[in-house]
Amino acid sequence: MEKAKLRKLGLANLNWLHEHPIVKEQKELEISRRLFNDPIWQKAQTIAITKPLDFEFDTHILLEKGWQEGKQMLMPVAEKQRQLTFHHVTPETRFKKTTFGVEEPVASQNVSMEMIDLLVVPGIVFTTGGFRIGFGGGFYDRFLQQYQGETCSLVFSEQIQESWQVESFDLPVKQLFIN
């Protein structure tokens, strides 16, 4: 199946979960529990995540846990040439909505990619091998080409789809936390 069709299917599955908030929340709690108990989280001191859209995995639980544990939490800003930079966020950070509908931190400090211990990579569709289909902008694909640290994705079982051809530029995340 081609990526555009899989992206539509993945978005439909995510919207179904959004319409069933109790199911979605239970899955998020179980996935988060697995992440927090894993060495990939426990060793990381600087963690980059996204601020989710309503239908995506709610990363606010990660923010709260990270701050509680004294970790530095980062969120991306989309720059020119479809590049991502990551910026410190605190409970006081203000956000602005982009043309994509994503909220990005305002007036925050940029952090070099070498400082990121763990990058939590978003996506719409995943294979069990860690390959992903995102929104189609290639922001994370470009970042992953340069990034050498740990990567993971937090995935609902409804997002798993094996029936697509991985392309040469597709890079897998190292670990999936699935429920």
pTM of the predicted structure, to 2 decimals: 0.95
Which residue ranges form the domains of the chain, and what is each CATH number?
A: 3-178 (3.40.50.10420)
Question: Is 137 annotated for ligand binding?
Answer: yes
Q: What is the pLDDT of residue 83?
A: 87
Q: Are strands 95-97 and 103-105 parallel, antiparallel or unpaired?
A: antiparallel
Query: Could you report the per-residue pLDDT of 133-165, keeping only the tens digit for each?
Result: 998 888 999 999 999 999 999 999 999 999 888
Helix (H, G, I), strand (E, B) or coil at 39: helix
Is 177 marked as a binding-site residue?
no
pLDDT in tens, 75-114: 999 888 778 999 999 999 999 998 878 899 997 778 999 9
Residue 10 assigned to a binding site: no
Residue keyed to tokens 């999936």: 176
Q: 47 labelled as ligand-binding?
A: no
Contacts 24+ apart (CB under 8 A), 175-178: 175/38, 175/40, 175/130, 175/150, 175/151, 176/126, 176/128, 176/130, 176/152, 177/31, 177/34, 177/35, 177/38, 177/152, 177/153, 178/31, 178/128
